[in-house]
Amino acid sequence: MGYTIAEKIIKAHLLDGEMTKGQDIGIRIDQTLTQDATGTMAYLEFEAMGVPRVKTERSVAYIDHNTLQTGFENADDHRFIGSIAKKHGIYFSRPGNGICHQVHLERFSVPGKTLIGSDSHTPTCGGIGMLAMGAGGLDVAVAMGGGTYYITMPKMVRVNLTGKLRPFVAAKDIILEVLRILTVKGGVGKIVEYGGEGIKTLSVPERATITNMGAELGATTSIFPADEIARQFLSAQNREEDFTELLPDSDAVYDEVVEIDLSTLKPSAALPHSPDNVKTVEEVGPIKIDQVLIGSCTNSSLLDMLRVAEILKGKTVHPDVSLGIAPGSKQVFNMLADCGALGVLIAAGARILECACGPCIGMGQSPNSAGISLRTFNRNFEGRSGTADGQIYLVSPETAAASAIAGYFTDPTTLKDDISVTIPEKFLINDNMVEPPASVEDAHKVEILRGPNIKPFPVTKPLESVIAAKALLKVGDNITTDHIMPAGAKILPFRSNIPFLSQFCFRQCDEKFPDRCVINKQGIIIGGVNYGQGSSREHAALVPLYLGIKAVITKSFARIHSANLINAGILPLTFTNEEDYDKVSENDELELTDIRTTIETGSNKAVLKNKTTGDEITLNCNLSTRQRAIILAGGLLNYTKENG
C-alpha cells in the first residue's frame, strides 16, 4: 500500500509513535513561524525553557497583526520580539514586510519540510507541498527548542479536482465549495490533500488560497503536490534549489474522497456568520453593499492584485462603497508599483492599506453599523470585524472588485470583458526587511528589550485530586476563539498582558463571566460541538487559566484549542452521551471525583457529579500518555522543565 503526500512527509519526520490513525505521534519540525499577536507570549515561553538558541532549520518572527500603533504597547512588543529574535537565532520580518503566510510562502517555504506556526492559517504553505500546521505558541516554543511536536495521526481526505475554472471563477470559490460540502467541523482529525487533473490549472498562489482556508474546515492541514508548477514558482522566487518533487503514490489509500468538477463552479460567498454558510453570488442576489476589503493571507498575492486591477481599470468605485486593498507583502507592493497596477487601484478610488493583516484581525476598517462588507478574508465570525452587528461576506477578489464598482453584490461572470493577467517569470527579490539573527559568538551582547505591558506567563499548578467547582459558563455549538478571547484594535495590544485581557474573556457571550470567575476563584466551562474553532490563539486557554478555569467539558473540541487547553494545564473532557449536556446548567455545583487518579491510571472515562441536580454523568477522557503527563504536571511548560 502506497503513501499519500502527507504520509510521506510524516514518515520522514516521525520521531515517536506509529502511523496508526487516531494514535499520538511525534514529528520533527524543520521550520517555525510566529506573528506578533501570539509571538510575545511564545517567546516568553521559549525564554522560560532556558534554551539559548533555536534548534530548527529556520525560525521566523513576523510583525503583521498588531501594526496599528495607538499607544506604546504594540511598538514595545515589536521591539521585544526583535531583540529576542536577534539573540536566539530567529529571523525577524520587520513591520511593513508583509503578512507572515504570504512572505513565508514566497521566501522560506520548502516542499517536503515540516512547519508549525502560532497562527491557524500556517497551512497556507501547504500550497507548495509543505506539511504546515497551526499550533499554540507553547508548542511552537518547544519546537524551537528542539522538542518534538505531537499530533493525533490524522485520517487522509482526497479532494479530486477535475476540469478547469471558467473566467472570473476563482480559487476562493473552490475552497468555499469544499466548506459547503464538509462544513467547519468536517476536517477535524483529517489532512485534506488535493489532486486530480484540475490542480494542473492552479498556480501556487491559488493553491495557497485553498490550503489557507482549509483551517476553517478544522483540518490538521491541507496540502498540494510539489510538482512542476511548484518548481516554477520557486524558480521565479530565485529558490529553485529548494524544490523537491513530492507526489502521492499511485496506490495511496484515502479514508474519504471528494469529487469537484471545476468547470461547474460559480462565484460564491460565505454568508454571515460562518465560513461554511455558502451560497452562489447569484443566489445571494443584488444586495446593496457598504464596504469591500481585498487582502489578508488568503487573497493578497500578486496574482490576486493584478486581477483586481484589471477589473478596476478605467472605472471608479461606487460612491456608496469604501474599498480598501492591502497587498500581502512588500514584494507584491513593489511589483504593483513597478508595473503600474498600483496606480490603477489608486485611480479607481481604492484606499491602499499597509502590507499587514489589518481588518482581517479587527485592526481598523470596521464597517458602519449593520454594514454589509464583502471581504476576501477567511473568517466572518460575528463581531470579528470590530462592528458587533456587521454583516460580513467572504468572497473572491474578482467578486469583490466587481461589486465595489457596482455598489451591490455582483456576479463577476456577468462582466462583459474577460481579463488577462500575466505573472512575471521572475519576481522582485529584496529581503532587506528580514533581519538575520546575531551570530552565536555575538548573541550574548544582545539586550532583551521589555516594555511595561509585558507580563509573565500565568502560574500553573499540578492537577488536584478532585476538581470541585461551579459551572461558571454554558455555551452552545461552534464557539470560536474570538468568542473566548476577542481580537480587535482595542484588545490585541494587550496580548502580552494576560491579567488585563482577562476582563474581556467571553465578553461576547456573557460580559459578567470574568466577574464570576473572580468571585468563585475556580470554575468549569460547559460547551457544545466544535468548541474552540478558529484562530490558534493560545490566549483563549491562558486567560481562562488565569481566571481559575480547571476543566472544559464539551460535546467536541477543535484540534488546536484542545491542545492549547492541555498545554495550559486545563482538562478537556467530552460528554459520552451528548444528551447529558442538557443535565448541566450554569451555576450548578460540579465535582470531578478522583480525577487525578483517573488521569494517572490511564482511564478513558471520568465521572462528573452534579451536586445541584444529583445527576452522575460519564465523560470521555481521551488523552494520550504524554497528554496525561502534561495535565498531571500542570501544563506543558512544567512538563518540559521536568523532562528536559
Residues with catalytic annotation? 64-65, 119, 379, 535, 537
Q: How far is Cα 620 from Cα 576, in angstroms, rounded to an integer?
A: 5
Instruction: Calculate ∠ Cα 599-604-607, nearest 5°.
Output: 75
- Contact (Cβ atoms closer than 8 angstroms) between residue 137 and residue 34: yes
Strand partners, 619: 575, 606
Set of cell numbers at residue 478: 461552534
Q: How far is Cα 25 from Cα 18, in angstroms, rounded to an integer?
A: 6
Burial 298-330 (b: 16+ CB within 10 A, else e): bbbbbbbbbbbbbbbeebebbeebbbbbbbbbb
Question: Which residues does 591 contact at the CB level (< 8 Å), separation at least 6?
Answer: 466, 467, 468, 608, 609, 611
Tell me the residue type at 177: E
Strand partners, 531: 557
Q: How far is Cα 407 from Cα 13, in angstroms, rounded to an integer?
A: 51
The SS3 assignment for 374 reads strand
Q: How far is Cα 277 from Cα 592, in angstroms, rounded to an integer?
A: 37
Strand partners, 589: 470
Q: How far is Cα 309 from Cα 402, in angstroms, rounded to an integer?
A: 11
Cis peptide before 273 (omega within 30 of 0): yes
Q: Where are the alpha helices (DSSP H) in 502-553?
A: 513-520, 539-546
Residue 542 CA, distance from chain mean position: 17
- Contact (Cβ atoms closer than 8 angstroms) between residue 133 and residue 220: yes
Set of cell numbers at residue 363: 485592526
H/E element, 41: helix 36-49
Set of cell numbers at residue 415: 462582466
- For the chain, how far is it from start to end, CA to CA, in angstroms? 38
Residue 155 CA, distance from chain mean position: 20
Q: What are the phi and psi torsion angles at 26 (to 5°)? A: -115, 130
Q: What are the phi and psi torsion angles at 32 (to 5°)? A: -135, 155
The SS3 assignment for 219 reads strand
H/E element, 283: helix 281-284
Q: How far is Cα 534 from Cα 480, in angstroms, rounded to an integer?
A: 5
- Contact (Cβ atoms closer than 8 angstroms) between residue 79 and residue 449: yes
Distances (CA, A) of 363 to 85, 102, 224, 274, 504: 24, 18, 31, 20, 17
- Contact (Cβ atoms closer than 8 angstroms) between residue 503 and residue 583: no
The SS3 assignment for 624 reads coil
